[in-house]
Amino acid sequence: MSVTIRIMDVHAREILDSRGNPTVEAEVTVIAGESAFGGPCINGRNMAEAAGNHKESAGKEACIGPVGAPYPLSGKLYAGRASVPSGASTGRFEAVELRDKESRYQGKGVQKAVKNVNTVLREALLGRNALCQEEIDKILIETDGTENKEKLGANATLSVSMAVARAAAAALHMPLFRYLGGISARRMPVPMMNILNGGKHADNTVDFQEFMIMPVAADSFREGLRICAEVYQKLKQLLVKDGLSTGVGDEGGFAPSLKNPEEVLDYIVKAVLAAGYVPGKDIKIALDVAASELYQEDAGMYYFPGETKALHGSKKEVLASSDTKESCVMRSTDEMIALYEELCQKYPIVSIEDGLHEDDWDGWKKLTERLGDKIQLVGDDLFVTNTGRLSAGIRLHTANAILVKVNQIGTLSEAFAAIEMAHKNGYRAVISHRSGETEDTIIADIAVAVNAGQIKTGAPCRTDRVSKYNQLLRIEEELERVSRYEDPFPEKAGTV
Ligand code: PGA
Ligand code: ZN
């Protein structure tokens, strides 16, 4: 006998994310039962059903076929709930986040996506076996039928995909990380913790989007989290002392107006020291430049509006002419790479995400040649959690890690496929939140399930960020003695 977890109902609603914008939340209700034949997945239905039992029978008679002792949970209902995050510095190649484009919520309503869940997706999934996640996701993909999920919305498909996994785990009485990862799920991720925000996530003059700290030398996740939180508080004190703003950006990091990356990094190093830790040993630094946001197509260069403002007192409009370089801080691809090399020599930087824009494959190749054997180079907008783009990157030897954001692709199985492809090819995978988040903590479970070793989920500030860290604390406790916490790149020691 094996267990079947039938989908009884699928229901979505519009809720708010951490920026006050609407997003999709889905609930999937399942019923536990038994399968006579064991092998549960033929096109998403179990073999007994394929042999003649109709899907409408799900729920009325949870046990299908002749079986021995009844499964003790047969006939019980369980539910899984999941909500979808949303980006601000969204990559051009991401799956489509369906927005209503009507007057309510300034066009950002998601009623169409909600309706898609409550009608076509619900209809396609009723009676299916929730244990067959890949089949469920295939149905979601095929029901949409487009390359980038533009018909139903990746927000619609992802809400259901995640809620199905949660419902299945609930019906099996398993922690989600264990359901998703099995017995090998045991590696706690090192936080890549954002403590200072810039770019599209704040209104300050910091041009790089994220400055993050990684407590690589801690002996557990819990201790790593403590170290980061202590550094965060010290950074706040330093900013207060210097009369700088301690207001926070979208991901909870402070957002003072500082004049360039060096000034930010100096503050971070000072905060690490003030907290009693050694930069480069206890704490290493990671950056997310989000360079696609800085790139000016007409000029073919990267424009730094914050640095420009710090120099001239205003953010100048960039014109597509070469003389703008005189008045604005602009950098070519080569100058960007040179800047990173310089920063890596001066500060203990071990990881740079989206150092160049999403279409600059030649530049990325050059960047990888120059820095790829020294630091981690993460493709976020470059790869968009998409195996097609990742395989191109692997073939062209660009970057050496992928940022994984489930809503960039729209189903759990596709995100897991990207992680698997990365790992098989010696690329690291960093599991990530979005700048617009909810209280959903699934990325914490995913990070442990796939032994990613790194998670990027914001500052120790605001519940939408902290909830993921708190979930990881629970998981570490659950794993007890078998949990592992390791420096993801001990061989790539940053310099101080
Ligand atoms: P986003 O930012 O969620 O606004 O895209 C996060 C990131 O760029 O990593
Ligand atoms: Zn990014």
Q: How far is the CA of 363 from the centre of ligand 2 (A)?
A: 17
Please give the Cα distance from 116 to 493 (Å, whole number): 49
pLDDT band at 222 (very low <50, low <70, confident <90, very high): very high
7: β partners: 30
Q: pLDDT digit string (tens) for 330-346?
A: 999 999 999 999 999 99
Which amino acid, residue 292?
A: S
Q: Residue 361's pLDDT is what?
A: 98
Please give the Cα distance from 385 to 18 (Å, whole number): 22
Please give the Cα distance from 319 to 144 (Å, whole number): 41
How do beta strands 428-432 and 454-456 pair?
A: parallel
Ligand 1 pocket test, candidate residues 84, 293, 294, 405, most atoms within 8 A of CB: 405
User: Closest ligand 1 atom, CA of 456?
Assistant: 9
Largest Cα–Cα distance in the chain? 81
Which ligand has the nearest atom to the CA of 436?
Answer: 1
| Mean confidence (pLDDT) of the chain | 92
Q: How far is the CA of 351 from the centre of ligand 2 (A)?
A: 12
Would you tell me the crossing angle of helices 463-479 and 221-241 to the nearest 10 degrees?
150
Please give the Cα distance from 138 to 316 (Å, whole number): 48
pTM over 0.85: yes
456: β partners: 432
Q: Dig out the tokens for 394 from the structure.
A: 């692997």
Which ligand has the nearest atom to the CA of 456?
Answer: 1
Please give the Cα distance from 317 to 328 (Å, whole number): 8
Residue 50 has pLDDT above 90, yes or no: no
Catalytic site residues?
A: 251, 405
Ligand 1 pocket test, candidate residues 84, 89, 208, 351, most atoms within 8 A of CB: 89
Residue 398 has pLDDT above 90, yes or no: yes
Q: Residues lining ligand 1, CB < 6 A?
A: 87-90, 209, 288, 290, 380, 432, 434-435
Q: What is the mean pLDDT of residues 48-72?
A: 47
Q: pLDDT digit string (tens) for 96-140?
A: 999 999 999 999 999 999 999 999 999 999 999 999 999 999 999
Only one residue has tokens 């929730």, namely 130
Q: Dig out the tokens for 452 from the structure.
A: 């990613």
Residue 63 has pLDDT above 70, yes or no: no
Q: Residue 448's pLDDT is what?
A: 98
User: Between the CA atoms of 362, 365, 366 and 370, what dihedral angle is there, to the nearest 10 degrees?
Assistant: 170
Please give the Cα distance from 163 to 25 (Å, whole number): 9
Q: How far is the CA of 430 from the centre of ligand 1 (A)?
A: 13
Q: How far is the CA of 116 from the centre of ligand 1 (A)?
A: 26
Domains of the chain are 5-174 (3.30.390.10), 184-482 (3.20.20.120)
Q: Residue 60's pLDDT is what?
A: 39
